[in-house]
Structure 1
């Protein structure tokens, strides 16, 4: 069964936070198709309202799906941003995170996207992580009880968080291993010419 993954984008998101996992999931599916099998992942890029969005630095993405029209998904992925306060102050964005997370089997964040999950009430007592520079701020935000450092990702069941930037690719490979197989995750990492370990501390 195909896993429908929705990446929720917003102005100022870090491009690699979304682009890295995007490439991982598409590559995993491409390898399966090369083997004559069905793709594992359908990846949807969406914004509240479906409008264009500019990543940090100005790169603009167009022809995106309208998240308001997405009733459910298997995986919601929320990237991080340099301007966390701006994202947290975006009422429509936060409402969308809450709605899609409730409609998703799994919700994952990359880097400072963990702050959006925390504000949406998704972390609580669950262990979580974020960019190493922001661990103390996440611990001090009052919405998370256990912050973990020294790991690339934390899998807390239906909620997953990852460290900074390229750690999102390691998280995505973990999701490939979890949802398909570790062998496919290792093949995908090889195809992407990156070192990956199923151990999040490596």
Structure 2
């Protein structure tokens, strides 16, 4: 049976928070279908979403039509700011615990997980500029200030923006194998050598 990874989209999502993990996971699932996973995008209403810097992305499904998920990816971006006070969104996020075996976040997506109570008493991280906000939302969180991503079993959080690529490669390693993750990394030519 094919297992599913659902990537949440919303207005104000940070482009690379969504597209970085998508590139890793879509490349993996399309080139190695025998690993048994597929990935899709979804949003509250389905259809196009305008991202933080103006890019528009088409969500394939809405909340109501999306397939069940084995893995949920909750990106960050400016759109997460109002979500931490949006009770219907927080209720939806809480409800995912019962139906989604593995929940992950990129960047400030973890702020929504924290506001929903999903990170209580857990280690977690987020974008370096939002680490204090993460601690404010739930002082019981063991905030990891230096980690690129934090795997705490059924919840994985990652630091900001490009860290979502590392988290997605970790997901491939965890869900398939270290060899597969290395193959995907090589094939998408993810070999960071920053010029600055």
TM-score, normalised via structure 2 length: 0.89
Gaps of 5+ in 1: 197-202
Indicate the residue corresponding to 1:87 in structure 2. 83
Alpha-carbon contact 1:10-1:93 (below 8 Å) kept: no
- Tell me how far 1:57 sits from its aligned partner: 1.6
Report if aligned partners of 2:50, 2:56 keep a CA contact under 8 Å in 1. Answer: yes
Q: How does 1:25-64 map to 2 (within 5 A)?
A: 25-33=25-33, 38-62=34-58, 64=60
Contact persistence 2:10–2:79 (CA under 8 A): no
TM-aligned CA deviation for residue 10 of structure 1: 0.8
2:90–2:116 CA contact under 8 A, matched in 1: yes
Q: Give the secondary structure class of the aligned counterpart of 1:125.
A: coil
Q: C-alpha separation between the residues in 2 aligned to 1:92 and 1:58?
A: 25
Number of matched residues? Answer: 192
Distance 1:75 1:17, change over 3 A: same
Cα distance in 1 for partners of 2:15, 2:186 equals 22
Q: Does the CA-based 8 Å contact 2:12-2:80 persist in structure 1?
A: no
Q: Does 1:15 align with 2:11?
A: no
Match of 1:175 among 158, 171, 174: 171
Secondary structure of the 1:58 match is coil
Provide the secondary structure at the position in 2 that maps to 1:7. Answer: strand
Q: Secondary structure at the match of 1:69?
A: coil
Task: State the distance in 2 between where 1:144 and 1:51 align.
Answer: 37
Q: CA deviation at 1:120?
A: 1.4
Match of 2:70 among 69, 74, 77: 74
Deviations 1:157-195 (A, max 9, x none): 000000000100100100100010000001111111113
Distance (whole Å) between structure 2 residues aligned to residue 14 and residue 86 of structure 1: 14
150-159 or 100-109: which moved more?
A: 100-109
Q: Give the alignment's TM-score, normalised by structure 1.
A: 0.87
Matched residue, 2:148? 152
What residue in structure 2 maps to residue 96 of structure 1? Answer: 92
Q: Could you tell me how far apart the structure 1 residues matched to 2:78 and 2:70 are?
A: 27
CA 1:53–1:94: 2 relative to 1, 3 Å: farther
**CA distance 1:104–1:138, change in 2 (3 Å):** same
Instruction: Give the superposed CA RMSD.
Output: 1.9
Q: Is the 1:123–1:143 Cα contact (8 Å) retained in structure 2?
A: no
Distance in 1, Cα, partners of 2:80 & 2:179: 36
Q: What SS is found at the alignment partner of 2:70? A: strand
Shift of 1:154: 0.2
